[in-house]
Structures are given as C-alpha cells and as structure tokens.
Amino acid sequence: MPDAPHSPASTPLAAIHGIGPKYAELLAKLGLFTHDDLLHFVPRRHEDRRHLKPLSEAQEDQTITVRGKIHSAKPGRWGALKLEITVGPATLSNSNDLVVARWYGFRPYGIKEGSDVFLYGKVNRDKKGLWAMKQPDYEIAHEDAESYIHIDRIAPIYNLTEGLTQRVLRRLMYEATQRTPFTAPEFYPAPSSMIPREEAFRKIHFPESWPAEERARQRLAYDEFFVLQCVVALRRLSHVSTHRQRAKRAGDLAQRWLDSLPVKLTNAQRRVMQEIDGDLMQGPPMNRLLQGDVGAGKTFVAIYAMLKAVEAGEQAALMAPTQILAEQHAINLRRWFEPLGIRVDLFTGNTKNKKGDRLQGGELDLFAVKHGTSKVATDVPIGSSPKASGSVVIGTHALLYDKYAADKLGLIVIDEQHKFGVLQRLALSRKGQNPDILVMTATPIPRTLGMTLYGDLDVSVLDELPPGRQPIVTKCRSVKELDKFWAFLLKQIGEGRQAYVIYPLVEESEKVDAKSVKAEYEKLQQLLPGAKLGLLHGQLDAAEKERVMTAFRAGEIQVLLSTSVVEVGVDVPNATVMLIENAERFGLAQLHQLRGRIGRGQHLSYCVLVGETRSLESWRRLKIMEETTDGFRIAEEDFKIRGPGNIFGTEQSGLPPLRFASLEKDFDLLTRARTDAALLIREDPTLSKWPGLREKMHSGGASAVSLVAVS
C-alpha cells in the first residue's frame, strides 16, 4: 500500500474502496463529494471502546465493551436475533459470565455460533437476571489487532443521514482515512511542534489515544485559525496603506458642543475622544471598535466623532440595528445638533413602504428619505454651510443597500455592532471615499471572538460609567412569586416610576412553551386595573411602534409589555423596574442588554428574572445575573455555555464555520496563530511562496472576510 500513488484530495468518492453509487448518493446528502470532504468530516465525538470489562464489574445501565464467544444464535421473540455470548474464559454453568444480545429486524453480518466477538453497548439485567444488551455495536475479533474499526479502540461517531448507519459510515471513513492513501500538503510553514497535516487527518478520525486525538485536533484547528488570521493581517495591512483624503477642519462645532454639555465627561470618554482625534488627524481611515458596557455613554463619543466629520465638510452616518433605535438616536441627536445648525435626517427600512414615508408623532418631525431617491443626501451641496446640508444621516441597515451619499460620506458610526456582521461592514466601507468607521458595541466581546471577527480593528474601551449610577438590584424568582411582584410593581408606578415587562414570544405558540406578549397583555389588563399598559413587539408597523415608544418616553404608558425589541439602546431614565418572563429562554448577554434599559436615572432600579426552576443548569445560569453586572464577565459565561453562534448568530457574525477550532477553548492556539500569521504576512504579503494558503483564504468560509483583504 505505501507505494500506491497518493490520491489527490479532490478525488471523487467512487475511487475509494467500498463506495459505490449507492453510498456515494447517501454521502452526498451529508455534503460529501470528494475524498477531501471525507477528511474534513469531523466526528461528532469519539467513544472510548477499549478497556474490556469483566462482566462481574458491570453495573446496571453502564456502557461497556466485552469480548466473548457466541454460544448460541437463535431467533428470539418479535423477530429478534438472540445471541447468548459467554464472556472471557467462561462456562455456561456460571450465568454471571453470560450476556444475552438481541438485534431486531436484521441479522448482524458475519455473526454465527462459535464466533469470537467484541460487543459494545449498554447492559441491563433482564427478567431472568442475566446481563442483556440491546442492539450492541459489534465486531468480529481477528488476528490483526491494529485494525479494529468499531470496537477495541477510540471509535469515531459521525452525524448520519437516513439510510446510512454509524457502522457503515465508520467503515467507509476508515477506508478513506486509513487505507486509501491521500495527500494533505502543508500550505504554510506550520510550527515544528505540530504534527503533519496528513497525520492529523488520519488521527482526528481514528486516534490511538485521547492525547493523539487532541494533537490532531489542535493541528487542524491551528490551520483554521491561521487562515483566518492571515485574512485579518492582510486586511490590516491593506487598511494601513489606504489613502484617506483629509480636508482641513474649518469649524469648531465639536468644541462648541463640548462647551454646551451640561455634564462632565468621564475620563474614559475623554480618553476615547482623544484616540479618535488621533485617528482623524492623519493617515488611513479610522477603523475603530468602541467597547463600552450598557450606559457607559457611547453616544457622546459618537456625537463627538460626527461633529468632527461635519467640521471637515463631510457627512456622517449613524447606523443602528433597529428602527426604534434609529428613531431614538434621531431624537437625541437633533437635540444636540440643531442648536449647532446641523440637520439630522432619518433614513430607515420603513421608508421603503410608501405609506411609511413620513413618521407620525407629536414631538417627532422627522423627515424620512424615500428609498432610492435620497435627495437630501446626494443633491445638497454640503461643506460650505452645515445648515443647508443633511450633514448627519441616521438609519438602519437600509442605509447599506441604498444609493445614499456616496461622495461626501466621511464617517460611519455603527451602533450596537453585534447585529452587523463583517460582510455588512465591508459593504459600508466601500461607500464613499474610504470613510472613517467607528463601531460601537455594548456586548463585551469575548476575547477570542474579538480577535477573529474584529482582529483588524483598533479597540477603544469605555471602562467607566458616568457618576451617580445606582446599581440595579437583580433577583431570580419562580413563577409562583409573581403575585408579590405585581404588588411591588403597582407600588413603584404609584411613586411615578415606569416598568418594562419582557416576554420571549409575540404570540402564543403550540410549539414553544413560553409566554407571549399579546396573551399576557390581555391578562395584565385584568390583573393591573388602573395601570396604563403599552404593547410593543416586532410585528407592529413602524408608526405604531414609534407611537408606543413616544408614549412610554412621555410617561403616558406606565408599564410597557414588550418582546426583546427593546433590547438595545432604548433610553427612558424614569423606567426603574424590569420583569423578564421565561428568562431562561434568553442568552445572558441578551439579558444583560435588556437589564441595561433600567438603572439609567437617579432612582434605584429592580430587575426580576422569572425563570424555569426545574432545570438546575438554567437556574445556575440565571443566577450569574444576580451576582454581577459586569457585562464582560456575563459575555464570557454566556459564550462558554452557548458558543458564538448563539450570541451573535453565525450568519450575523460573518464568522466562517470552524470545524476543528473552538473559539471557546482555543484561546492560546488562536493567539499563536495570530502572531505567526502576522509574521508571515509581513515577510511575504503577496504569499508568493504559499499559493495554497492564498487559495484557502479565498475559498470556503474565509471568503466572507477576505473579499477586501486579498483582492
């Protein structure tokens, strides 16, 4: 076998022994078309099927491996095949050495009386008091002890598709990874301490030991990180060499605004503004991530940066993840900007609907630009007089897809970053002439994720809350204690405060056992007579949503029942109570965001999480919210429990799927890959020596990130 020509990894499956048209079709259902696909098909997990156990040590319900001789093979009841197997040097006279194995509906291949077999499965005492195994995995013992596939080894367990059994797939994978030669060339200079790629592929499937499995996984994980980090390093490099035309700043808008501020900036705010100054003074476009916990005062920083752009005769755009937030920002910013003679336009997805063009609402006189026509943005000459221009535009992601303002756009601020993926960010940076980008997030980003997703950004941190904030009192409670809560709530609104009540669902659902905001709205109207309730959820049309939010801000609504649409950024300082029902259905980072809606004024605030008490695990998770208001710790905990996909949503995060690497576990590996990748890119930015690496960066998952970088 060693001298057989190595099959290139792209070899079709049919070339692998044992894979005919029938299996090829089944494998296609799993997305497997080439030899390479099989190599990359990571086992879901491995099972340790070594360690033969004498039956005398077995316990009820234990999964064990035994070896024995088939003493009898007979049809059992209900079409079962019943085997009596004596284990070890046993005799039938001692029933303690007997296992009865049954298979239903099929006869295991190759099994007959007298065979020497391994069995792997769960044991239970049957009615006669004998050990019994139901449909155990098995393997006929043979001389060549090296090559057991299913048992007497650490065996891979794969995801299956209908018509393909674990056993068959494992055998095919064994052919593909152990018996059929293949090549997996090194495509970059990997650290010498790591095992070769070829070996890693063989062992990730069929490792001889747990450490061997981990070494294999680390090698392949490192490869994944390395490719991603090369993309990040190249993006940084290309960014640093981007030319950004900078106009001389004419005005003193930013200074005048600072002078007019009724509050004192925090040191952190001042520091970050200086960092932004540094970015804007010279050199390539700003490319900065601003992390700051809920309530840290990111908006002021954004305002500062936007005024700097307007001063320079440019336009600034602020993007928010939801329409509600865009509208709130519009209200907030107009308050600051109008006295300075700067017009603020609101531009939202809503403007696509013909009837939604103009928003209603007393205090709001917002001009919504119609999708695609964006007159304000393109036709108005700006720079000379800020007064005449729509110098500041606020919108949702609708801004991305519009022809809005290509020429004068000088700054894009993205608020609450986690809803915007890398792809969206790229689309943005293509607008205008290399605009400055400031990304703001309140979800503290776990380190590994940050390095991967935002590895190309400079980072500023607002690590200080404005003074005078009251801590939020947080309590986890069971549904039984709700009555007490309603009494408390009535007392609070009696004192003039307002409250949020959050539910996971809009409408009742048969599939999901959780409360819905619509149904509870009906009930609470009975339960809280006299209280002014409001209803908010994503299915309301834009005008209605705005009407509700305006009424809540104005205090006309006392208790706002809502889904998580109020999650980010909403700022009503008089709201001091929040109840979250079915809290176990939310991620911790999301709960933290929700909780951040209260504790914004001078009154003490209370957050009550009503959760499922049946599951200890989810209860413990909720308890973390009682212990800390440190968003960073909460994010790390959430990340450990739920992984990145759940925090950000994989599509949203723009993160390519990682097969071998784990952002939760592999921080050290990632750091190493990052350093090594940066070195390689510095020495050889065109990757002339490593065409395979270039190809990998372009293909597959990394393509999303690499669009700008490598092209």
> Within a 10 A sphere around the Cβ of 495, how many other Cβ atoms?
9
**Residue corresponding to tokens 């040590």:** 57
Please report how close the Cβ of residue 587 comes to Mg ion at its closest, in angstroms. Answer: 19
CB of 191 to ligand ADP, least distance (A): 41
User: Cβ 298 to ligand ADP, closest distance in Å?
Assistant: 3
Which of these ranges, 99-107, 238-246, 264-272, 523-531, lies near ligand ADP under the rule CB under 6 A?
264-272
Using rule CB under 6 A, residue 295 touches ligand ADP: yes
Report the 10 Å Cβ neighbour count for 542. Answer: 20
Per-residue contact flags (x/-) with ligand ADP for residues 34 to 73, judged by CB under 6 A: ----------------------------------------
Indicate the DSSP class of residue 493. H
Minimum separation from the CB atom of position 696 to Mg ion (A)? 38
Site string for ligand ADP, 302-341 (x = CB under 6 A): ----------------------------------------
**Total of residues contacting Mg ion (CB under 5 A):** 1
By a kind-dependent CB cut-off of 5 to 8 A, residue 351 interacts, out of Mg ion, ligand ADP, none, with: none
In the complex, least distance from residue 292 CB atom to ligand ADP, rounded to whole angstroms: 5
Q: List own/partner pairs for 388-391 with CB under 8 A and 24 or more apart.
A: 389/315, 389/342, 389/343, 390/315, 390/343, 390/344, 390/345, 391/310, 391/314, 391/315, 391/316, 391/342, 391/343
Residue nearest to ligand ADP (CB): 297
Binder of residue 517, out of ligand ADP, Mg ion, none (CB less than 5 to 8 A by kind): none
Which of ligand ADP, Mg ion, none interacts with 266 (beta carbon under 5 to 8 A by kind)?
Answer: ligand ADP
Q: Which stretch binds ligand ADP (CB under 6 A): 13-21, 29-37, 245-253, 287-295?
A: 287-295
Where do the H-state alpha helices sit in 101-240?
Answer: 166-174, 197-205, 210-240
> ∠418-421-424 over CA atoms, to 5°?
125
If we measure between CA atoms, which residue out of 185, 156, 161, 160 comes closest to residue 173? 156
Distance in Å, CB of 339 to ligand ADP, minimum: 16
How far is residue 395's CA from residue 367's CA, in Å, rounded to a whole number?
12
Under the criterion CB under 6 A, does residue 292 sit at the interface with ligand ADP?
Answer: yes
Whole-number Å distance between alpha carbons of 392 and 332: 13
Q: Are 442 and 630 in contact (CB under 8 A)?
A: no
What's the min distance (Å) between Cβ of 569 and Mg ion?
4
C-alpha–C-alpha distance, residues 352 and 697, integer Å: 37
Determine the interface stretch with ligand ADP among 107-115, 258-266, 402-410, 641-649 (rule: CB under 6 A).
258-266
Q: How far is the CB of 467 from Mg ion (least distance, A)?
A: 18
What DSSP line would sit under 377-427, residue for residue?
A: HHHS--SS-GGGS--EEEE-GGGGGS-TTTTTEEEEEESSGGGS-HHHHHH
| DSSP codes joined into one string, 31-86 | T--BHHHHHH---SEEEE--SB--GGG--TT-EEEEEEEEEEEEE-GGGEEEEEEE
263 contributes a contact to ligand ADP by CB under 6 A: yes
Q: Which is nearer to Mg ion, 236 or 600 (CB)?
A: 600
Interface segment toward ligand ADP; rule CB under 6 A; list 123-131, 259-267, 341-349, 421-429: 259-267
Q: Which residues of 179-218 are buried (b: 16+ CB within 10 A; e: fewer)?
A: ebebebeebbebeeebbebbebbbbbbbbeeeebbebbbb
**Residue 313 or residue 569: which is nearer to Mg ion going by CB?**
569
C-alpha angle with apex 28: 22 to 30, nearest 5 degrees? 120
The stretches of 194-297 forming alpha helices (DSSP H) are: 197-205, 210-240, 253-260, 267-281
Interface with ligand ADP includes 240 (CB under 6 A)? no
Q: Does 297 bind ligand ADP (CB under 6 A)?
A: yes
> Does 632 participate in binding ligand ADP (rule CB under 6 A)?
no
> Amino acid identity, residue 70?
I
Q: Which of 296, 559, 677, 687 binds ligand ADP (CB under 6 A)?
A: 296
Residue 569 binds Mg ion, judged by CB under 5 A: yes
CB of 258 to ligand ADP, least distance (A): 11
Residue 258 is a binding residue for ligand ADP (CB under 6 A): no
To which H or E segment does residue 340 belong? none
Task: Quickly list DSSP for 615-647.
Answer: -HHHHHHHHHHHH---HHHHHHHHHHHHHHHHH
Whether the CB-CB separation of 448 and 666 falls below 8 Å is answered with yes
Nearer Cβ to Mg ion (132/268): 268
Residue that is written with structure tokens 């005024």 in the block = 307
Q: In whole angstroms, how close is the CB of 588 to ligand ADP at the nearest point?
A: 17
Question: By CB under 6 A, is residue 265 in contact with ligand ADP?
Answer: yes
Closest CA to 159 of 50, 22, 64, 40: 40
656 touches ligand ADP (CB under 6 A): no
Give the nearest distance from C-beta 337 to ligand ADP in angstroms: 15
Q: How far is CA 553 from the centre of its chain?
A: 32
Q: Say which entry of ligand ADP, Mg ion, none residue 292 contacts (CB below 5 to 8 A, set by partner kind).
A: ligand ADP
Work out the number of other CB atoms within 10 angstroms of the CB of residue 456. Answer: 23
Q: Which two tokens stand for residue 219?
A: 């090698």
Helices and strands, counts by H and E, the chain: 22, 21
Six-digit token pair at 656?
């390519």
Minimum Å gap between C-beta 403 and ligand ADP is 29
Angle in degrees, CA 476, 481, 485, rounded to 5: 85
The residue among 117 and 303 lying less far from Mg ion, judged by its C-beta, is 303
Of 431-470, binders to ligand ADP (CB under 6 A) are: 442, 466
Task: Please check whether residue 357 is in contact with residue 351, taking contact to mean a CB–CB distance below 8 angstroms.
Answer: yes
Q: Using the rule CB under 6 A, give the single segment among 229-237, 248-256, 263-271, 274-282 that binds ligand ADP.
A: 263-271
Q: Which two tokens stand for residue 314?
A: 């440019």
Structure tokens at 313: 């005769």
Provide the residue count of the chain.
Answer: 711
Write down the least CB distance from residue 317 to Mg ion, Å.
16
> Smaller CB distance to ligand ADP: residue 150 or 603?
603
* Residue with smaller CB distance to ligand ADP, 266 or 434: 266
Convert residues 591-620 into a mask of x (bound to ligand ADP by CB under 6 A) and - (unbound). ---------x--------------------
Pick between residue 277 and residue 695 the one whose CB is nearest to ligand ADP.
277
Output 269 or 348, the one with its CB closest to ligand ADP.
269
Among positions 7, 11, 65, 266, the unique one binding ligand ADP when judged by CB under 6 A: 266
Taking contact as CB under 5 A, which single stretch among the options 133-141, 541-549, 562-570, 641-649 is the one that binds Mg ion? Answer: 562-570
d(CA 279, CA 479): 51
Choose one: 82-90, 291-299, 497-505, 574-582; the region binding ligand ADP (CB under 6 A). Answer: 291-299
Contact string (CB under 6 A) for ligand ADP, positions 541-580, x = contact: ----------------------------x-x---------
Between 214 and 571, whose beta carbon lies closer to ligand ADP? 571
User: What is the size of the binding site for ligand ADP (CB under 6 A)?
Assistant: 18
Residue among 625, 655, 626, 651 at smallest CA distance from 638? 625
Binding site for ligand ADP (CB under 6 A): 263-266, 269, 292, 294-300, 442, 466, 569, 571, 600
Binding site for Mg ion (CB under 5 A): 569
